[in-house]
Amino acid sequence: MTSPTSTLAAPPAAHALARAGVTLLAGALFGFGLSLSTMIQPQVVLGFLRFSDWGLMLVMGGAVLVTLLAYQLAPRLMKRPVFDAHFHAHASAWNRETAWGAALFGVGWGLCGVCPGPAIAGLGAGNLDLLWALAGIAAGALAQGWSRQH
Amino acid sequence: MTSFQSLFPFGWQHYLLGGVLIGTGVALLFICTGRVGGMSSVFSSTWSYVLQRPFFQQPRFVGTRGWRLVYAAGLVLGAAVWWLGLAGGAPQSTGLPAWQLLLGGFLVGYGARLGNGCTSGHGICGLGSLQWPSLMAVLTFMATAFLTANLFAWALPTPQP
């Protein structure tokens, strides 16, 4: 296991670089995993949604299990993250917006079989069709933000 | 055995291993930086570079846009390693018409941002932190996705993979 670093006075610049490097590496593991599990292929996702292949449950299950362990154990075993001051939490809320947002997200996902991660990762795997989905997602995020006052 | 194989006609190992690697990425990000690594926020936070509207200039976007882009670049990099290393660089295609990707993508982007999370934000990070609102979100989008995919397949039959 990683032990908490005791060099609290480490140069911030070095830590900023380490954070960037580890963020890139974390993204790369994510992208490699999405590719290996064929989640970047919309046909496979649509196959799951049409009950012909249950693989997506294993992908989700494996990812949630490892994440659960890290999210539960790290804050108990470590005073702070290796390269930063504290662990963040992103609280979710159940309200009208979450319900509508999730419902619309599902309609879109059921239509094209692409969600945000695979839309980005697919480009690295030379699947340029996914640029259409990426453009759609960016436009959707723009429209959602644009319709807000603040 | 036969019923197990019928659940996973393309095998199951690569699904489980891929899922564990995805989780390892999210875990590494948290352990080293304390960050919660959902994917859909990058689509809002990146707009903050070019749009001055107050919505996009919120600290939760401006303060995280840098690392979110690095995380997204990592995603592309990891997929490229798989493509060139394991898939032999063979051309990939979705086999879907552009309008379907564009329209589906639009709803995915709008819905994920309105609902504050997607398959990774609510699905992996939300469930991983045992938040019941995320479980509700996952059940909701799974339900509408099942419904849409099957209605669509019924209305417009396309060759299955």
pLDDT, tens digit, 9 for 90 and up, residues A129-138: 999 999 999 9
Name every residue whose Cβ is closer than 8 Å to that of residue A91 and which is 6 or more positions away in sequence: B131
pLDDT band at A3 (very low <50, low <70, confident <90, very high): very low
Tokens for B98, please give them: 């552009």
Distance set, CA B59 to CA A73, B48, B95, B159 (Å): 28, 10, 39, 46
B109–A136 CB contact, under 8 Å: yes
**Count of CB atoms within 10 A of residue B52's CB?**
7
pLDDT for B159: 54
pLDDT band at A85 (very low <50, low <70, confident <90, very high): very high
Among the partner residues A70, A124, A150, nearest to B83 by beta-carbon distance:
A124
Mutate to test the interface with A, among B36, B102, B110, B127 (most CBs of A within 10 A): B110
B-chain residue closest to A115, CA distance: B108
CA distance B28 to B8: 29
Q: Which positions in chain A touch B60 (Cβ < 8 Å)?
A: none
B106–A91 CB contact, under 8 Å: no
What are the two backbone dihedrals, phi and then psi, of residue A114, each rounded to the nearest 5 degrees?
Answer: -120, 130
- Please answer whether residues A115 and A136 qualify as being in contact, where contact means their C-beta atoms are separated by less than 8 angstroms: no
Given a cut of 90, whether residue A10 has pLDDT beyond it is no
Of the candidates B46, B92, B110, B33, the one whose C-alpha atom is nearest the C-alpha of residue B72 is B46
pLDDT for A2: 44
Mutate to test the interface with A, among B55, B113, B139 (most CBs of A within 10 A): B113
B-chain residue closest to A128, CA distance: B93
A-chain residue closest to B136, CA distance: A94
Q: What is the ipTM of this complex?
A: 0.94
pLDDT along chain B (161 residues), means of 10: 81 96 98 96 97 96 97 98 94 92 98 96 96 97 98 76 46
- Please answer whether residues A103 and B140 qualify as being in contact, where contact means their C-beta atoms are separated by less than 8 angstroms: yes
B43–A116 CB contact, under 8 Å: yes
Q: How many domains, in total, are found in chain A?
A: 1
B55–A145 CB contact, under 8 Å: yes
Mutate to test the interface with A, among B10, B13, B14, B22 (most CBs of A within 10 A): B22
A7 assigned to some structural domain: no
Between residues A149 and B92, the one the model is more confident about: B92
Given a cut of 80, whether residue A64 has pLDDT beyond it is yes
A23–B71 CB contact, under 8 Å: yes
Q: Which positions in chain A touch B106 (Cβ < 8 Å)?
A: 108, 136-137, 139-140, 143
Residue A33 burial class via C-beta count within 10 angstroms: exposed 0-12, middle 13-18, buried 19 and up: buried
B78–A66 CB contact, under 8 Å: no
Q: Name the residue range of residue A130's domain.
A: 12-87+94-146
pLDDT for A6: 45
Least confident window among A1-5, A106-110, B62-66, B73-77: A1-5
pLDDT for A1: 41
Q: Mean pLDDT across chain A, nearest whole number? A: 92
Given a cut of 80, whether residue A38 has pLDDT beyond it is yes
Residue B121 burial class via C-beta count within 10 angstroms: exposed 0-12, middle 13-18, buried 19 and up: buried
Tokens for A113, please give them: 């079989």
Give Cα B145 to chain centroid, integer Å. Answer: 14
B-chain residue closest to A66, CA distance: B23
